[in-house]
Amino acid sequence: MLDFPPWKIAFVLLISFIGMLAALPNLLSDEQVAALPGFLPSSKLTLGLDLQGGSHMLLEVDSDAVVAEQMVNLEAQIRDALRAQRILASIEPQGRSIHVRVRDETQRADALSVIRDQAVPVGDGQGFGGVLSRNIEVETEDNGLITATLTEAAIRSRISGAVEQSLEIVRRRVDEMGTREPTIQRQGADRILVQVPGLQDSQQLRSLLETTAKLTFHMVNAQGDPNRPPPGFMSLPSQDTGEILVLERRARLTGENLVDASVGFDESSRPVVNFRFDSTGGRRFADITRENVNRRFAIVLDDVIISAPNIQEPILGGAGRIFGNFTVEGANNLAILLRAGALPAPLTIMEERTVGPDLGKDSIEAGEIAGLLGLSFVVLFIFVTYGWFGLAANVALMVNIALILGALSTLGATLTLPGIAGIVLTIGMAVDANVLVFERIKEEAIAGRGPMRAVEAGYQQALSTILDANITTFIAAFLLFQFGSGPVRGFAVTLGIGIITSVFTALLLTRLFLVIWLRRRRPQRLPI
Amino acid sequence: MLLKLIPDNTHIPFMKIRSFAYVVSLLLILASAALFFSRGLNLGIDFIGGSTIEILTPEPANIGNIRALLEKLDLGDVSVQEFGEPRDVLIRFQEQPGGEEAQKEAQIRVENALQTNIEGVSIRSTSFIGPKVSSELARDGILAVSLSVAAVLVYIWFRFEWQFGLGAVIALVHDVLLTVGFFSITQLDFNLSIIAAILTIVGYSLNDTVVVYDRVRENMRKYRKMPLPELIDRSINDTLSRTVMTSLTTLIALFALYFFGGPVIQGFTAAMIWGIVIGTYSSIFIASPVLILLHLRSTAFIGDEKDQDSDQDGDGNLTKVPAP
């Protein structure tokens, strides 16, 4: 175990050297890092949100709403298809099925084939290669009832589509906020994780994410009774005046026709939102305004009327503005929402953690102080206990810390506060392998072996113990990584990396030091 | 002259007091269970849902006033406590009926009440965990701890005799139970990072146990005729200075974290410190004597004929030997 061929020495020193180089950028300022030659590693540790401050939000797509909308669409589709064939039937939704009863028994076969024609193949939302299934299952019963049921595959595929679409819209909205390096990713079947570092105010993010932003334009029925809207009409509250207005249920235009929205100011310097339609929308907007001069036109966002201006004259340019008693911030948020588009279904915030930048800074400072103090005491303690052997272990410990920082920087792992705790803990535990070996060497020396033989036997005997002990701890770290979330995962990562690097430094680096020392000095007695 | 905490040749008869250790541990476990069922844990919002808000006030905070202010909001159970220093306050309130929406609305009300009534207050951090996520986190936490205990059982079983595997797991369960008892008696916030602490304790305690077990196995080959209690005593004494050294260096690092690492990880560090002490105790007084209870016999490793001799020339053949 004591023969160290040159290639092995080179390997151990090279790994240590690379580790230290990779850790180096963390000690330098950003300008110094930028000035480093290109062949040197330049990535710094990524700080977790708990250290640099920021917001973490876990959102869930409302899948019930997605399914409900899917049912409404299916019902309308079947109704239209039957009407086109002049088949009279009663159609009603029941759970996830549409129940159809044909009035005239002779048309039943026709109805059945019309409904069967509505079925289209869908992907099952689980990627390629799956067996294609149909979106609806059509069955008929003896009593004349025809049922069309949404399949699981159809629902899964629709929800998956809604999550993808929401992901894109959330990304656009967060990007519009002008924050740096947000993380937006899908999690599981129906969740979206949003992490925005360095955010001061989580309330704006919260309101941007929770607004569906479904924009619709409706004509107002000035004669309608808000308490009893006539069929085809609905009553909605108005945000700016507080009155309740009766509107046509049918939207004349929707946000889908918008191409741009921005904040502007009216004549008395109140903030407004300017918007522009695409060509179809512009044409339709011109028609509506031409036909309805002197009537009120309501702009509705998520079932609340933002404003309901009177149409003074036809608006032909395809552009308009919303006056809504806004604050500048409110107008800005609405413009962002309109530009980014509507979410396909409401999002609910399931979990939110926000840390202010000051607290993050304090945590880093506290972690550094604790780390340095812990390190100094451990180093001192090891030195007074093991003397020159201890010195070798201490140098290996420093290299070990550099390796951990270097590995974390290179892997792009995130350093969290529990992660710092993991490093400090590793400082305490890393010496364990060295201690095992040293104690073994001491025993062998006491048993009467010469220095060379004692060191060799010490390493040999301690090897399997070191491996067993570290593999078991590694299992715990691995499971923690699998089941943990957020900062706890950061802890698992540092613990796991720390185990690998401390086994490396104890088994190879410290041994290299000892072997070089033994070869040079050829001592008669071990100073241990 | 080097520092020597543990003399080179100790002969402490640990196994003589093993019955006493069993009784002490059994009483501690019963007390932990009783505390757990009567007093329970101070479960954090990670596991029961709810919100926390940490604020920093310009003057030392008046906890009573803040509590009175928040009680007016009618949020049910609100806890207000100093967090690390007198200007730092942690506010926690339970899950509101009405799901995620109601919870968030309550949080905004609290934030607004604080900002309008306390001049110069700054909100340092806020967390909100909805009921769905908290129950998932609780499930994952329990799963992680149980799986790690199971994985370790399998690993040790594979590397040693079954008695060692069972012994290690008994010691681990002992450590986990006593840690839960510790959290019940101190009422420290039991959150996600405590699960991390428990898993690290599992890893550490096992590390300790494996070192002693490795030595027991080795000594069983060396001294075939030695009675088990004596053999275990010898193994513990052989590894004693390592056990003490490693526990001390780890504790030094942990105490540095506890006193200087800030309030956010204080609970985590407290759990770890307790766990290191308990883990060290359990590998000596639980994991080792349990081998006697489980009737591990020195003959377990017979079948490897040349072991005794080869060990003498320093060939520490510690790989697993198939059981006869």
* Yes or no, beta carbons of B3 and A384 under 8 Å apart: yes
What is the pLDDT at residue B54? 92
CATH class of B2-39+134-298: mainly alpha
Chain B contact set for A382 (CB, 8 A): 249
d(CA A515, CA B103): 63
Q: How confident is the model at residue B1 (pLDDT cuts 50, 70, 90)?
A: low
What is the pLDDT at residue A73? 86
What are the pLDDT digits (tens) for B214-255? 999 889 888 888 889 999 999 999 899 889 989 999 999 999
Q: Do domains A63-148 and A211-353 have the same CATH topology?
A: yes
* Yes or no, beta carbons of A483 and B147 under 8 Å apart: yes
A457 touches chain B (CB under 8 A): yes
Q: Does the pLDDT at position B323 exceed 80?
A: no
What is the pLDDT at residue A487? 66
Q: Does the pLDDT at position B25 exceed 90?
A: yes
Which residues lie closer than 8 Å to A370 by C-beta, 6 or more apart? Answer: A420, A424, B256, B257, B259, B260, B261, B262
CATH class of A211-353: alpha beta
What are the pLDDT digits (tens) for A239-267? 877 888 999 888 888 888 888 898 888 88
Q: SS3 for B42?
A: strand
- Look at A171 and A144; give whichever has higher pLDDT: A171
Identity of the residue in B137, B255, B319 whose CB atom sits nearest the CB atom of A464: B319
Chain B contact set for A366 (CB, 8 A): 260-262
What are the pLDDT digits (tens) for A485-519? 766 788 888 889 999 999 999 888 998 988 888 88
Residue span(s) of chain B under CATH 3.30.70.3400 come to 50-129
Q: Does the pLDDT at position B312 exceed 90?
A: no
Choose from A197-201, A375-379, B105-109 the range with maximum mean pLDDT: A375-379
Mean of pLDDT over chain B: 85
The residue ranges of every structural domain in chain A are: 6-52+356-521, 63-148, 211-353
What is the pLDDT at residue B299? 55
What is the length of chain B?
Answer: 324
- Look at B258 and A472; give whichever has higher pLDDT: B258
Beta strands in A255-386 (DSSP E): 258-265, 271-277, 297-301, 304-307, 319-322, 347-355
What is the pLDDT at residue B192? 85
* Yes or no, beta carbons of A443 and B238 under 8 Å apart: yes
What are the pLDDT digits (tens) for B153-212? 888 888 888 889 899 989 999 999 999 999 999 999 898 888 888 888 888 888 889 899
Pair B168, B207: CB distance under 8 Å: no
* Yes or no, beta carbons of B100 and A358 under 8 Å apart: no
B128 touches chain A (CB under 8 A): yes
Q: How confident is the model at residue A32 (pLDDT cuts 50, 70, 90)?
A: confident
Q: How confident is the model at residue A132 (pLDDT cuts 50, 70, 90)?
A: low
**First and final C-alpha spacing in chain A:** 20
B142 touches chain A (CB under 8 A): no
Question: In this prediction, does ipTM exceed 0.95?
Answer: no
What are the pLDDT digits (tens) for A321-348? 888 788 888 888 888 888 888 888 889 8
* Yes or no, beta carbons of B196 and A374 under 8 Å apart: no
What CATH number is given for A63-148 in this structure? 3.30.1360
d(CA A471, CA A460): 18
Quote the tokens at residue A525: 């007695």
In angstroms, the separation between the Cα of residue A132 and the nearest Cα of chain B is 32
* Yes or no, beta carbons of B203 and A456 under 8 Å apart: no
What are the pLDDT digits (tens) for A160-218? 889 999 999 999 888 888 777 888 999 888 999 999 987 767 788 888 888 888 889 99
Interface test with B, best of A196, A359, A420 (most B CBs within 10 A): A359
Tell me the count of A-B CB pairs closer than 8 A.
244
Fold of B50-129: Alpha-Beta Plaits (3.30.70)
Residue span(s) of chain B under CATH 1.20.1640.10 come to 2-39+134-298
Chain B contact set for A429 (CB, 8 A): 204, 207, 246, 249-250
What CATH number is given for A6-52+356-521 in this structure? 1.20.1640.10
Search chain B and give the residue with CA nearest A353.
Answer: B127
Pairing of strands A145-150, A136-140: antiparallel
What are the pLDDT digits (tens) for B53-92? 999 998 888 899 899 888 888 888 888 988 888 899 999 9
Q: SS3 for A301?
A: strand
Chain B contact set for A435 (CB, 8 A): 242, 245-246, 249
Q: What is the mean pLDDT of residues B34-62?
A: 90
In angstroms, the separation between the Cα of residue B71 and the nearest Cα of chain A is 23
Q: Does the pLDDT at position A83 exceed 60?
A: yes
Q: Does the pLDDT at position B306 exceed 80?
A: no
* Yes or no, beta carbons of A428 and B252 under 8 Å apart: yes
What are the pLDDT digits (tens) for A404-429? 999 999 888 888 888 888 888 788 77
Pairing of strands A97-102, A133-134: unpaired
Choose from A195-199, A524-528, B256-260 the range with maximum mean pLDDT: B256-260
Q: Does the pLDDT at position A482 exceed 80?
A: yes
* Yes or no, beta carbons of A477 and B159 under 8 Å apart: no
What is the pLDDT at residue B262? 86
* Yes or no, beta carbons of A382 and B249 under 8 Å apart: yes
Q: What is the mean pLDDT of residues B140-146?
A: 85
* Yes or no, beta carbons of B193 and A491 under 8 Å apart: yes
Task: Give how far the C-alpha of residue A187 lies from the chain's centroid of Cα atoms, to the nearest Å.
Answer: 7
d(CA A33, CA A23): 12
Mean of pLDDT over chain A: 86
Distances (CA, A) of B305 to A330, B159, B301, B311: 84, 19, 9, 11
What is the pLDDT at residue A140? 87
Pair A301, A212: CB distance under 8 Å: no
